[in-house]
Amino acid sequence: MNPRPVVNWNIVGGCNYRCSYCVQKHADGVGGPDDAALERGLDVLCALPGVWEFKLSGGEPFLLKRLPDVATRLVAAGHKVSLLTNLSVSLPVIERFVAAAGDGLRTFSCSLHLEETSADAFLTKAAAVKQVLSAMPKSSFVVNHVVQPGRIGEAAELRRAFETAGLKFYPQLMRINGSPANYGLIDRWKLDRAFGDLVGPAGMNRGYSHLGKSCHAGYRYFILHPKGDAYACYPAKRHGENYLGNIYAQTFRLNDGPLACPYAVCPCTVPQNRGMVAD
Ligand code: SF4
Ligand code: SF4
């Protein structure tokens, strides 16, 4: 296994949306770093050996006004940048970010949250963003959607609409406190009909188990909390384990090698989809 190393950077904790199923709990009061802290953190991250991909998310990452600067700095250091946004900012703001990331932009992901926006408005904007990205052949575009219990039919309709428009649709099962939500018998039957063809974590995030398997978390993958704390992966942070230090305090260090997964359910799509978890 020699996959490209990846960081999931939750660069701000706050969000302008209030989705009821939010796993970040909107992280009220956890803003982005101030300029001085951001500079210290970027110094640490730009110096990571090799070419890393930084997946910038939040909360809502566009709440950090310097988000385009972050992309420019990371790409100038030889790294790549991806993004996960709720797509609520205006198209010109998105265009500025895309231009700042330039050839270093990889995956542009956006999440559809029907509690805060309509499917039609979101689809129109998503199609416009995909058009912007068409000038960047190394980038890709994905629409994420949390499939809530009792709303499987609606999610199936959304999948049809977005795929008909030529947009990749990535459904995720809802999680509560790190575990999949409780889907009843009828929901499970509907899930199978609507998404049964989406096999494995690359097709749909169902919360798989890799307990005991060798994983590159902490070594060639880690997550960054808005306060700058680094952990091997999201369950590690939840359990307060596999702490890697703080980028703003410049105490961060990577592990020397892979670990044996100690967690019953893996919500982290990156290690699973990038060949970082041994079969
Ligand atoms: S857009 Fe994302 S971060 Fe914001 S409230 Fe919704 S789920 Fe949470
Ligand atoms: S939970 Fe996922 S990312 Fe974390 S160690 Fe296990 S397999 Fe790796």
The answer to whether the Cα torsion of 62, 68, 73, 78 is positive or negative is positive
Domain span at 68: 6-273
pLDDT band at 190 (very low <50, low <70, confident <90, very high): very high
Q: Can you state the angle between helices 152-164 and 185-195, rounded to 10 degrees?
A: 10
Q: How far is the CA of 53 from the centre of ligand 2 (A)?
A: 18
Tens digit of each residue's pLDDT (9 = 90 or more) over 116-135: 999 999 999 999 999 999 99
How many Cβ atoms sit within 10 Å of the Cβ of residue 33?
Answer: 21
In a domain, 88, yes or no: yes
Q: How far is the CA of 174 from the centre of ligand 2 (A)?
A: 18
In a domain, 278, yes or no: no
Tens digit of each residue's pLDDT (9 = 90 or more) over 227-268: 999 999 999 999 999 999 999 999 999 999 999 999 998 988
In a domain, 170, yes or no: yes
In a domain, 279, yes or no: no
* Mean of all residue pLDDT scores within the chain: 92
Q: Which atom of ligand 2 is nearest to the CA of 236?
A: 4
Q: Which of these ranges, 135-139, 175-179, 220-224, 254-258, has the smallest mean pLDDT?
A: 175-179
Give, for 190, the enclosing helix (H) or strand (E).
Answer: helix 185-195
Six token digits for residue 168: 């990749």
Can you give the pLDDT at residue 141? 97
Give the CATH number of the domain where residue 63 resides: 3.20.20.70
Q: How far is the CA of 20 from the centre of ligand 1 (A)?
A: 9
**Which numbered ligand comes closest to the C-alpha of 236?**
2
The binding-site residues of ligand 2, defined as CB within 6 angstroms of any ligand atom, are 210, 215, 217, 233, 235, 261, 263, 266, 268, 271, 277
Contact 125, 87 (CB under 8 A): yes
| DSSP per-residue codes, 103-128 | GGEEEEEEEE-TTTS-HHHHHHHHHH
The answer on pLDDT for 143 being more than 60 is: yes
**Which numbered ligand comes closest to the C-alpha of 201?**
2
Can you give the pLDDT at residue 61? 96
In a domain, 48, yes or no: yes
Number of structural domains found in the chain: 1
pLDDT band at 153 (very low <50, low <70, confident <90, very high): very high
The answer on pLDDT for 31 being more than 90 is: no
Six token digits for residue 229: 């704390």
In a domain, 1, yes or no: no
